[in-house]
Structure 1
Amino acid sequence: MDLQQMRYVVAVAETRNFTRAAEHCDVVQSSLSHRIAGLERELGVRLFARSSRRVELTSAGEAFVAAARECLAAAGRAVADAAAATGVVRGWLAVGVIVTTAAVDVPELLQRYRARYPDVHVVLRSGRSDELATAIRDGDLDIAFLGLPEGEAPSGVESVVLDHDEHALVVPAGHRLAGASRVTLAEIADETFVDFAAGTPARAQSDRAFAAAGLVRDVAYKAGVVELISRLVARGLGIALLPSAYIGPLAADDPELALVRVLDGPHRLEYLAWSRFNPSPATRAMLDVLGVGRSSGN
């Protein structure tokens, strides 16, 4: 058994197809199939159930793939650590980003990072703050930019606050409040709202503010991205509360939208989070680029 055989098995498990797995591994399919068959003979078990149309992991295959992923990750880390000992940072860096990140210009950050560490391959993943924090704890992400309600910090990870932001009210340009200098939650509680899906950290920021004020609101439309929320607002389907640092620049260039300050509205903290357990050289390099001390944390 060798690492290449493990890579082939993991590739087939992820693609559920020998042809696509071979393409992913940059090898001819016959060679990949031969190596996997040889591994199955060595182990004395079938790793995949095959038919003319489907490829699925057997129970033995599922157990093998879980351990194989750990072995491949450990091998990759060993190579990266050895290179880092000579002053060369290489390997992979998995970065998670929420769609409303505003404290850091992520493309500009990655440009600076690549200029200093060209041998590191960066993989980006977007998602909800809770999902990204879980991915860090599970070892699927190295570092992530999160946004959480005020008073809530990411758990089980190292983190540092990057920014504190308040939400702004987003209304259509022709709305009765479009020219207002400021409003309170009580003044907008009877409006129809557009917001993120219930149960997400992005939605919790507004829900908690209304609950704290003893108010109930109607969320008629739920979306997963700010761009869709702002388009629904522009069409007059509702109003929204969104992080001002993110929506401000977008609304400034959109004549169909107007922003209003909310005196008692939601607040959020933007965090940088990373693994507590032995950060990789690539992760430590990103922390250095960001000017974040590794001793900081929650």
Structure 2
Amino acid sequence: MDTEAVRSFVRAAELGQLQRAADELGVTQQAVSKRIAGLERELSVRLFTRTARGVELTLDGQAFLPHARNIVAGVDRAVTAIRPGSRALRVDVLGLRSAQAVILHDYWRSHPEIDLDVVTLRVNDPRAAVAAVQADDVDAMFRTITDPAALPRDVQMIRAFDSPLELLVGPGHPLASARTVTPAQLRRHRIWVPGIAPRSEWAEFYDQLTTYFDLRVDAAGPNFGNEVLLDILADSADVATLVGARDRYIWPTNYDVRRIPIVNPTLAYPISLILPRTNPHPGLRAIINHFGSLAPLPDTTWLPSWAATPHRRDGDITPHRH
């Protein structure tokens, strides 16, 4: 099996576009297309379907992806074994539009000499995500084990930063003209967050949020992606959702979707970084220090219960406090 074809498949699956995968791999889009076509012939299945926005995995492609990642990671580990120190710092940001991806990109723009590999492991169960760190598939990942006692001894978890939430609504929503909103104002409105994965850290976050503020968060229906969610919000007079203030969203001008800060208190999602306890990648220290330079949140900020639990053990890397 052509491992470069497998690598092209993985990057195309993670980025959703053949051209972006080609740009990252330093080859032409035609080369990526040929590699994937050859892989499909070898496997006798279709791995992608083409859409107006790029490519999407077929069911066979979804089944093959985690195994393909293992193949690529195994090849990278083999190369690293004979060329110590040659591998880029590999960080899982969960989503390329997430606050952590935005902040990491800002850091890289100021330090372009950093050899950085940004990936998005589509794993909801935090225990499965931690396994990727333990297996050296990634050097660090933005995930949280909400019960520190369940954290394996060979990894550490640090609080990276807290991401304030905003209300996202269309122009016809009753709160569309508000400059800020409070949690109390949200109680009578439907907040739609489709596809909350059971046992995920964000499922626990929304459980605590709704209980504490008596909010109505509707998780019904599958998550068809940000574009579909924005389509629905733009046309709806009663549906809203919550997004991180630093999350990157782009929508057509005619949608007139509004992002409204939540205050009194600010609602924030605590974002942690999981990395090996011993011999972490040397490039992580500077990135962790960068988190400490972020602007602090207001004193009146609500966080879930686990955010008050110390993550650090003696000998762990410690970020600057903020």
TM-score between the two structures when normalised by the length of structure 2: 0.53
CA apart distance, 1:173:
1.5
- Per-residue CA deviations over 1:83-108 (Å, capped at 9, x if unaligned) read xxxxxx41254321122532553345
Q: Percent identity?
A: 16
- Pick the aligned partner of 1:180 from 178, 181, 184: 178
Distance 1:132 1:235, change over 3 A: farther
- Alignment match, 1:258: 258
Distance 1:76 1:158, change over 3 A: farther
Counterpart CA distance in 2 for 1:170 and 1:259 is: 5
SS in 2 for 1:284: coil
CA apart distance, 1:179:
1.8
- Alignment match, 1:35: none
- Alignment match, 2:273: 272
- Alignment match, 1:244: 245
Counterpart CA distance in 2 for 1:167 and 1:23 is: 40
Distance 1:90 1:110, change over 3 A: farther
- Alignment match, 2:56: none
Partner letter of residue 239 of structure 2? G
Superposition pairs for residues 53-202 of structure 1, below 5 Å? 76-81=79-84, 89-99=85-95, 100-103=97-100, 104-110=102-108, 115-117=113-115, 122=117, 124-127=119-122, 130=126, 132-146=129-143, 155-156=151-152, 157-198=155-196, 199=198, 200-202=200-202
- Per-residue CA deviations over 1:5-38 (Å, capped at 9, x if unaligned) read xxxxxxxxxxxxx5x469669xxxxxxxxxxxxx
Counterpart CA distance in 2 for 1:72 and 1:53 is: 20
Partner letter of residue 144 of structure 1? M
Partner letter of residue 156 of structure 2? E
Counterpart CA distance in 1 for 2:279 and 2:208 is: 35
Distance 1:108 1:169, change over 3 A: closer
CA apart distance, 1:78:
4.0
CA RMSD of aligned residues (A): 4.3
Contact 1:191 1:218 in 2 (8 A): no
SS in 2 for 1:91: coil
Distance 1:288 1:180, change over 3 A: closer
Counterpart CA distance in 2 for 1:155 and 1:177 is: 41
The answer as to 2:205 corresponding to 1:205 is: yes
Distance 1:222 1:166, change over 3 A: farther
Partner letter of residue 278 of structure 1? N
Counterpart CA distance in 2 for 1:71 and 1:251 is: 38
Partner letter of residue 122 of structure 1? D
TM-score between the two structures when normalised by the length of structure 1: 0.57
Distance 1:123 1:105, change over 3 A: closer
- Per-residue CA deviations over 1:49-80 (Å, capped at 9, x if unaligned) read xxx988xxxxxxxxxxxxx9999777545434
Partner letter of residue 122 of structure 2? G
- Per-residue CA deviations over 1:220-269 (Å, capped at 9, x if unaligned) read 4442644443332222172101212226x758978621233334564211
- Alignment match, 1:230: 230
SS in 2 for 1:166: strand
Q: Which has the higher strand share?
A: 1
5+ residue gaps, structure 2: 8-41, 45-70, 293-314
Distance 1:205 1:254, change over 3 A: farther
5+ residue gaps, structure 1: 1-17, 26-51, 55-67, 82-88
Compare CA radii of gyration and give the structure with the larger one.
1
Counterpart CA distance in 2 for 1:195 and 1:203 is: 10
SS in 2 for 1:98: coil
Counterpart CA distance in 2 for 1:187 and 1:108 is: 34
